[in-house]
Amino acid sequence: MDILEKCMISLEEVKKNKPLVHNITNYVTVNDCANIILAIGGSPIMADEIQEVEEMVSIASSLVINMGTLNERTVSSMLKAGKKANELKKPVIFDPVGVGAGPYRNRIAEKLLQEIQFTVIRGNMSEIKSLSGLAVRTKGVDSIADESGGVEAAMGFAARVNCVAAVTGKTDIITDGKKVCLIDNGHPILTGVTGTGCMTTALVGTYCGAVNDYLVAASAGVMTMGLAGELAQKTLSKEEGIGTFRIRLFDAIYNLTTETIRKEGKIRVE
Amino acid sequence: MDILEKCMISLEEVKKNKPLVHNITNYVTVNDCANIILAIGGSPIMADEIQEVEEMVSIASSLVINMGTLNERTVSSMLKAGKKANELKKPVIFDPVGVGAGPYRNRIAEKLLQEIQFTVIRGNMSEIKSLSGLAVRTKGVDSIADESGGVEAAMGFAARVNCVAAVTGKTDIITDGKKVCLIDNGHPILTGVTGTGCMTTALVGTYCGAVNDYLVAASAGVMTMGLAGELAQKTLSKEEGIGTFRIRLFDAIYNLTTETIRKEGKIRVE
Amino acid sequence: MDILEKCMISLEEVKKNKPLVHNITNYVTVNDCANIILAIGGSPIMADEIQEVEEMVSIASSLVINMGTLNERTVSSMLKAGKKANELKKPVIFDPVGVGAGPYRNRIAEKLLQEIQFTVIRGNMSEIKSLSGLAVRTKGVDSIADESGGVEAAMGFAARVNCVAAVTGKTDIITDGKKVCLIDNGHPILTGVTGTGCMTTALVGTYCGAVNDYLVAASAGVMTMGLAGELAQKTLSKEEGIGTFRIRLFDAIYNLTTETIRKEGKIRVE
């Protein structure tokens, strides 16, 4: 079975299992993340109070940690929830939003990496290189860095951290340090809307809650956003822009079928 | 005057009085709640700092407490605000989001119930049964439980807590423990969007800020969401999904008239 | 060069410079603010942890402080960030959401005014008068006060506080205490959506990050929202309402051109 077929089956698994996805995330894109999880067929839990995160991890199928608008209170909750998920052997997905933008954010990302064994880490190349210690400075949180040497950087990072690295960009790179999946879906307008990165991570978290092969789950999540972005962009008239695009993105994910993945999916293993 | 006519008059009262609705709510659906209050004709205040909640309750027509993403800081604010509203005899509406999902959330819901006299409590059957001590476990926050014995459970709960219970589901049950209103509006797609429960509660809060008969106000709020959901769903083409649905839901509420309530409202008293 | 031409050039500067705008804002409209900054051509940072706000100010082009859902934690961050921006001579824009609604909010607004030198303050007339000590009580946060004597009040306030005052209403008043720009764009439906004030402030912050003449930058920001509101409203059919309006507002800002400003801009210097 090739990777495209595995992604198609992953979508069916999500629809069948309706995984419960626990998110500790930022207050900017949290509504979009909840709706995207519902749109693909999962069930979101948003909860970050330290006294209840372990309880939520216990009933969830996966945990997504997103450090967008981190603060001391939620960082403690992230650490507690992540350790609990590790103990219960549930997948933990990390979105290191804006890592590299400053020393504080770097320290927190490092601490999370040290104390939690992540299953998948999803970021742009600048964030992954930053995490990987390659001293790349991001310009804010939505930057796109030079991607030369991207595959090698992603593989090295995945191997070092022992996780699946999902690096989104013009060509998405998903790797466990050995195998590499490359995805050529997507559209530049996705970078013109806040939260498309966070939503991609939420989708990865949803697939990881339904599928045990995390390289496949991460690939399916990233490809889902890319496909939906393409489909949504194609519907836009000249007068429409990011307002309408966002709405159509949710529609496209809600209506995504295995048939669309088969026809439009541009994924290959290298 | 029958209940349908009372609901029609309630809508007129909201438009006329433009009630100021104070919300202490979660950061997932807060924007939707503010916009839904505006759409129906009210005016939202979102404020949760403990030092100012009493001031906000004092100028508001009603208070909505939603425990979606509760934390220690906001729970203290909820308690302070709720007591102040009780003291000033202003209606307090409670949405026990996710109660039953874990011990912490249950403890907080119990504490709120003990210390605040709620006017209306809006939840799904699983949440209401949980609150009612019937040991029903929810699967996350958007669960739909078995509704057998629903009317009796709702009536018993309303009587015990001395409030109006507004239980949303396939058939909505609104009861003060003696009278029961049943509503058959709505559409299953409403459960595919985050925040439709919270928004229903916000609508109930808006009606309660304009209408003194809280059984009627709660019924009007619940029916408003059901009607808007039906109308919005009917407009969807095959390519559209929850993205477009959410937008049309706001449009439908914004354009809701007493005439629509008369024609499409499916409410009866039992 | 007249003010309209200056606004047109300001839009070009935003597109060219892609200013990084740091926002410490409320959790109600934060997503809209991030998307509006992206729509006009800037790049948003949303960060409010006290340990990292100085770092974010250091890499940003401007700082926006919005006190919508203020709390003790974020007020400390606002003070620290504002002082850092003053030290680095970066523009600081203030949105005193709901000032006048209660003593706590007034105290915080006063403290922020005392400790931070603001570049632009954007509010409605009631908020500006409140800030100005004119004891106007707001009814919630979306109130529209009597605007008699508005120009004088705005000029006096701007002179006293040594900032640009951007007072939005039927006719927008932007003044540095000496010159006054009056704008007649906009549409009443803008007040029927939550966050249009916050988004206007975010737009002002974006222009201030790209243009050194802050009277022009504030005027361009305010006019951008007014123009987009007009354009979006014109597209609405009878069945559409604030749901669709919000989406078209983002589309209109995303597609705004200098040509539209030239044709539709209604701004004059008095």
For A17-37, what is each residue's pLDDT tens digit? 999 999 999 999 999 999 999
DSSP per position, A173-194 = EEESSS-EEEE----GGGGGST
**121-140 in C: which are within 8 Å (CB) of B?**
139-140
A-contacting chains (≥3 CB pairs under 8 Å):
B, C
3-class DSSP state of B63: strand
| Contact at CB, C56 and A103, closer than 8 angstroms | no
Buried b (16+ CB within 10 A) or exposed e, A28-46: bbbbbbbbbbbbbbbbbbb
B250 CA: distance to closest CA in chain C (Å): 5
Q: Which of B52, B73, B206 to mutate to test the interface with C (most CBs of C within 10 A)?
A: B52
Buried b (16+ CB within 10 A) or exposed e, B145-177: bebeebeebbbbbbeebebbbbbbbebbbbbbb
Partnered with residue C230 across adjacent β-strands are none
| Contact at CB, C31 and A31, closer than 8 angstroms | yes
DSSP per position, chain A = --HHHHHHHHHHHHHHH--EEEEE--SSSHHHHHHHHHHHT-EEEE---TTTHHHHHHH-SEEEEE-TT--HHHHHHHHHHHHHHHHTT--EEEE-TTTTS-HHHHHHHHHHHHH---SEEEEEHHHHHHHTT--PPPSSSS-----TTHHHHHHHHHHHHTSEEEEESSSEEEESSS-EEEE----GGGGGSTTHHHHHHHHHHHHHTT-S-HHHHHHHHHHHHHHHHHHHHHT--TT--HHHHHHHHHHHHHT--HHHHHHH--EEE-
| pLDDT for residue B135 | 38
ipTM above 0.85, yes or no: yes
B35 CA: distance to closest CA in chain C (Å): 6
* A267 has a chain C CB within 8 A of its CB: no
Q: Which of B40, B46, B53, B61 to mutate to test the interface with C (most CBs of C within 10 A)?
A: B46
C73 CA: distance to closest CA in chain B (Å): 10
| pLDDT for residue A6 | 98
* A59 has a chain B CB within 8 A of its CB: yes
Angle of CA points A46, A52, A57, to nearest 5°: 65
| Contact at CB, C241 and B253, closer than 8 angstroms | yes
Q: H or E element: which one contains B175?
A: strand B172-175
Q: What does the alpha-carbon distance between residue C185 and residue C164 come to, in Å, rounded to a whole number?
A: 19
Q: What is the DSSP pairing of strand B120-124 with strand B62-66? A: unpaired
pTM of the model: 0.95
Q: What is the DSSP pairing of strand B92-95 with strand B62-66? A: parallel
B-contacting chains (≥3 CB pairs under 8 Å):
A, C
What's the rounded mean pLDDT across residues C193-209?
98
| pLDDT for residue C148 | 59
What's the rounded mean pLDDT across residues C130-140?
59
Q: What does the alpha-carbon distance between residue C236 and residue C240 come to, in Å, rounded to a whole number?
A: 6
- Under a CB-based contact definition with an 8 Å cutoff, are residues C32 and C57 in contact? no
* A236 has a chain B CB within 8 A of its CB: no
Q: Which residues of chain B are within 8 Å of residue A58 when distances are taken between CB atoms?
A: 102
Q: Which of B72, B104, B111, B138 to mutate to test the interface with A (most CBs of A within 10 A)?
A: B104
Residue in A38, A43, A58 nearest the CB of B242? A38
Closest residue on chain B to C72 (Cα)? B49
pLDDT digits (tens, 9 = 90+) for A72-124: 999 999 999 999 999 999 999 999 999 999 999 999 999 999 999 999 999 99
| pLDDT for residue C126 | 92
| pLDDT for residue B259 | 98
Closest residue on chain C to A75 (Cα)? C49
* A195 has a chain C CB within 8 A of its CB: yes
| Contact at CB, C104 and B52, closer than 8 angstroms | yes
| pLDDT for residue A30 | 97
Q: What does the alpha-carbon distance between residue A246 and residue C251 come to, in Å, rounded to a whole number?
A: 10
* A104 has a chain C CB within 8 A of its CB: yes
- Under a CB-based contact definition with an 8 Å cutoff, are residues A122 and A208 in contact? no
**80-99 in A: which are within 8 Å (CB) of C?**
98
Residue C145 pLDDT greater than 60, yes or no: no
Mean pLDDT of chain A: 94
B29 CA: distance to closest CA in chain C (Å): 8
| pLDDT for residue B270 | 87
A188 CA: distance to closest CA in chain C (Å): 13
| Contact at CB, C241 and B251, closer than 8 angstroms | yes
More confident position, A140 or A266: A266
- Under a CB-based contact definition with an 8 Å cutoff, are residues C74 and C64 in contact? no
Closest residue on chain A to B32 (Cα)? A31
| pLDDT for residue A141 | 47
Q: Which residues of chain C are within 8 Å of residue B259 when distances are taken between CB atoms?
A: none
| pLDDT for residue C138 | 42
| pLDDT for residue B133 | 82
More confident position, C146 or B107: B107
Q: Which residues of chain C are within 8 Å of residue A248 when distances are taken between CB atoms?
A: none
Residue in B73, B235, B254 nearest the CB of C241? B254
Q: Which of A66, A248, A250, A259 to mutate to test the interface with B (most CBs of B within 10 A)?
A: A250
| Contact at CB, B104 and A55, closer than 8 angstroms | yes
* B264 has a chain A CB within 8 A of its CB: no
Q: Which of A48, A75, A99, A141 to mutate to test the interface with C (most CBs of C within 10 A)?
A: A141
* C254 has a chain A CB within 8 A of its CB: yes
| pLDDT for residue C112 | 95
- CATH number (3.40.50.720, 3.40.1190.20, 3.30.1370.60, 3.60.15.10) of B3-269 reads 3.40.1190.20
| Contact at CB, C140 and B251, closer than 8 angstroms | no
Low-confidence ranges of chain B (pLDDT < 70): 134-148
- Per domain, the residue ranges of chain A are 3-269
Q: Which residues of chain B are within 8 Å of residue A31 when distances are taken between CB atoms?
A: 28-29, 31-32, 194-195
A48 CA: distance to closest CA in chain B (Å): 7
pLDDT digits (tens, 9 = 90+) for A219-242: 999 999 999 999 999 999 999 999
Q: Which residues of chain B are within 8 Å of residue C250 when distances are taken between CB atoms?
A: none
Kindly state the DSSP code that residue C267 receives in the 8-state scheme.
E
pLDDT digits (tens, 9 = 90+) for A125-173: 999 999 988 434 444 444 444 445 799 999 999 999 999 999 999 999 9
Angle of CA points B3, B169, C192, to nearest 5°: 70
Q: What does the alpha-carbon distance between residue B169 and residue B182 come to, in Å, rounded to a whole number?
A: 10
| pLDDT for residue C93 | 98
**144-183 in B: which are within 8 Å (CB) of A?**
none
What's the rounded mean pLDDT across residues A169-194?
97
